[in-house]
Chain A
Amino acid sequence: MSGKSARKGFLGGHLVAWGYALIIVGPMFWILSNSFKRQIDILMGTGFATPILDNYRTLLFSRQSDFLMNLWNSALVGVVSTVIVLVIATLAAFTVVRLEPPKWATFLLLGWALVFHMLPTLTFVGSWYVMFSNLGLHGTYTAVILTHIVHALPQTVFLMVGFLLNIPNDLIQAARMDGCSYGQVFRRIVLPLSFGGMAAAGALAFIQSWSDFAIALNLTDQDTMTAPVAIATFAQEHQIRYGEMASASVLSMVPALILILFGQRYVVRGLMAGAVK
C-alpha cells in the first residue's frame, strides 16, 4: 500500500515538474519558432511555415541594425560589472566572516545588503538618471556598470558569506601559523577555495546584468544600448517587427544558456552553501 501511494506521489511530482517545464519552455519554443517565420505568418498565427533565415540576416547584417553592437555592449557591461562585484563581495565576505570586525559593522553591512536587495530597482532608476545626467555620465558605460554593480552586490555578498563560512576556520588559522598575513591567507587559501562560490555568484550577477531592462533603458543611449533595450525598440510606432524581435531574443538567450549549462553545477552548489552542511 505504501508503495502504491509513494508511486502516486511520484507521479504527482512528475506532473508538477513537467507542467513547470512547459510554462518555461513553451514561450521559449514559441519565440524560437517565430524567429524563423515571416512577419505575415506570425500575424496570421500560422503553426507551421517554411523556416526562413531572413530575420537573423536582417538583424545581424543589415545596415540599419545595431544588434551586434548591442550584444557587445551587454557583454561588456555584464563582464566588467560581474568582475568588480565579485572582487568587492569576496573581500567584504572575507572581512565579515574571518576578520571579526565589530558586530555593529557586520550588522550594518548585511542589514544594508538585505534591505537594498528587497527594494525594487525601479525605485532608484529615477534618481540615478538625474544623478548621472548631472555628472555628465548619462549614456556612458560607467553609468550602467556602476548601477549594475550596486544592483548585484547585496545578493553576491550574501552568497559569498555563505560560501566562505564553509571554509573551516582551522584552515585559516593553520595558514596564519604557517606565516601568512591575512592578505596572504586570502590570496593563497580563501581565493582558490572559493572559486566554486565565485562561479555561482558570478553567473547569477552576470545573468542579472545581461537581462536587466529597467536600468539600461534609462541610462543608456544609442551607442551604449544593451540587448534587452534594443529588443524593445523593435516595437515601433507604426509596426512591431515580431520576427526580428524573436530572433534577437533567441540570440540574447544563447550566452545565458551556455553559462547556465556550464555553471549549473556551481550555481546549485553555491545557492545551497550555508543551507546544507
Chain B
Amino acid sequence: MAYLTLEKLRKAYGKHVVIPEIDLELEAGEFVCLVGPSGSGKSTLLRMIAGLESISGGRVTVAGADITGTDPSDRDMAMVFQSYALYPHMTVRDNMSFALRMRNEDKALIQERVAEAVEMLDLHGLEDRKPSALSGGQRQRVAMGRCIVRKPKLFLFDEPLSNLDAKLRTATRHQIRRLHDQLGATSIFVTHDQVEAMTMADRIALLDHGEVMQIGTPQELYLNPKNRFTAGFLGSPEMNFFSGTAEMAENGLHVRASDSLFLPASDARLKRLSDRLVPGQTVEVGVRPEHFVIADAPGPDTLSLPVEGQEWLGHEAFVFGRIGKQEVGVRVASGAAADDTLPRTGSAVPLTVLEDTWHVFDPETGETLSL
C-alpha cells in the first residue's frame, strides 16, 4: 500500500473551486515534485497535506492512518517554506531544536540531532547566530536543518529555492536530493521551475487548474507527454507546435497548413496513428527543438525556416525564426559549437524531423494521438 494517499481531495473557497478532485499516491522513500504554472493549486495542495489549509472534501492518509482532520501540530510533517520562516528571535541552534523541545525530547538527544544536522548541512560556527546574521543560502540550510532534526514522516518543500541566486540554486538542488537519499525520507517538493522538477524528482506530478495533467518519471513526461499541456510545459526552449490537416503517407505523416511538414514514422507508429486519425483531420503537432535536423539541401520533405535570431549557450546553440505566425526554435548543434558555423540571421535553413520523436495532439481535447 502506498505511503501517502490523497483520495478525491477537493478544495474550494466558497464557490471558487481551486482543486476539483485529486488522487495521488506516494511510495515511501519517493521524491515527488508538484509542478505547474502559478495558480495551478500546487502550493494549496501541499498546504492541505500539511494541514495548514482546510480540506473541503476527500481523504489524506499517511502510513495507513487517516489524517484528514488532524491538527498540523500532530501530523509529524516538516516543511521548508519559501520564506524559510526561521524564528527571528532564536539562534540557529534554537531554531533547529524548537520542534524537539516542544515535544519535550531528551536534552542529550536534541543535542545529538542538532549536531548531526549541523554536520550534514555544514553549518559549523553558526549555531549561536540569529537568522538576521545569516546569508540567504545559510538561512535556507537552517530551514532544512529544522526539518532534518525531527525525522518527520514527510518532508514538504514549498518552493524553497526561489529566493536563491542561480548558482546556489543548482548546488542546493543536488544537496536536497542527496539529503533525501541519505535520510531515506519521503518528500514532496513544490516548484514552478521545470528544471528543479526534472533534476530532483523520482516522479513529477504536473498540475494545471487543480488537476493532475500527468504524473510519472521526468523521462515519461518529457518523452511521452500525454497531452499538449504537458508537452508545452516541460522543455526549454519550448516544444514547437504546428496545426494543420493530417494526411497519411507511406513512411510518415504529412501535416499541411500554409507550409507542409513531413513527420517520418516507423510502421508501428504509423499503424497506431492510422487507427485513430481520420484522413484530413485537423491536428496539432509538437516537435521539440532538438528533434529537428538541418538538412543538407532543401527537398520536398523539408521545412524552410527563415532565421531571425540565435542563442549560443556554449554546450548547445539554438536558432529561432517564424513560420507563419508560429515561433519556431531549433537546436542546431551540440557540443562546443563554434559561433561562425551557426546559420546567419536572414538566411533560411531546411529542416527535417527525426523519426518517431514528434507528437500529435487532438486540437479539441489536447490529448495525444501518437502514444
| Interface residues in B, total, Cβ within 8 A | 24
CA of A180 to CA of B85 in the docked complex: distance in angstroms? 15
The bracket for how many chain A residues form the interface is 10 to 19
Known: A173-B52, A174-B79. A179 touches B102 (CB 8 A): yes
The closest CB in chain A to the CB of B73 belongs to A179
Q: Is B81 an interface residue (CB 8 A)?
A: yes
Secondary structure class of chain A's binding surface, majority of residues: helix
Q: Is the CB of A176 within 8 A of B73?
A: yes
Give the Cβ gap from A145 to chain B, nearest Cβ, in Å: 31
Q: Is A52 an interface residue (CB 8 A)?
A: no
B73: which A residues are within 8 A, CB to CB?
176-181
Known: A170-B83, A189-B87. A176 touches B52 (CB 8 A): yes
Q: Is the CB of A192 within 8 A of B79?
A: no
Q: CB-defined interface of B145-173 with A at 8 Å, one 1/0 digit per residue?
A: 01000100000000000000000000000
Known: A176-B73, A177-B78, A179-B103. A168 touches B83 (CB 8 A): yes
Q: Is the CB of A193 within 8 A of B52?
A: no
Q: Is A175 an interface residue (CB 8 A)?
A: yes
CA of A65 to CA of B280 in the docked complex: distance in angstroms? 109
Chain B 251-290 interface residues, beta-carbon cutoff 8 Å to A: none
Q: Is A133 an interface residue (CB 8 A)?
A: no
Which of B51, B73, B77, B89: most chain A CB closer than 10 A? B73
Give the Cβ gap from A16 to chain B, nearest Cβ, in Å: 37
The closest CB in chain B to the CB of A172 belongs to B85
B88: which A residues are within 8 A, CB to CB?
171, 193
Q: Is A184 an interface residue (CB 8 A)?
A: yes
> Could you say which of B77, B82, B103 contacts A177, with CB atoms under 8 Å apart?
B77
Q: Is the CB of B102 within 8 A of A170?
A: no
The closest CB in chain B to the CB of A100 belongs to B54
B99: which A residues are within 8 A, CB to CB?
177-179
CA of A192 to CA of B94 in the docked complex: distance in angstroms? 14
Q: Is the CB of A178 within 8 A of B146?
A: yes
B78: which A residues are within 8 A, CB to CB?
177-178
Q: What 18 new A-B contacts, CB under 8 Å, besides A174-B79, A193-B88?
A: A170-B85, A171-B87, A171-B88, A173-B52, A175-B98, A176-B51, A176-B71, A177-B50, A177-B78, A177-B79, A177-B99, A178-B73, A178-B146, A179-B73, A179-B74, A179-B102, A180-B102, A192-B89
9 A-B pairs whose Cβ atoms sit less than 8 Å apart in the complex: A173-B85, A174-B79, A174-B81, A174-B146, A176-B73, A177-B79, A179-B102, A180-B73, A188-B98
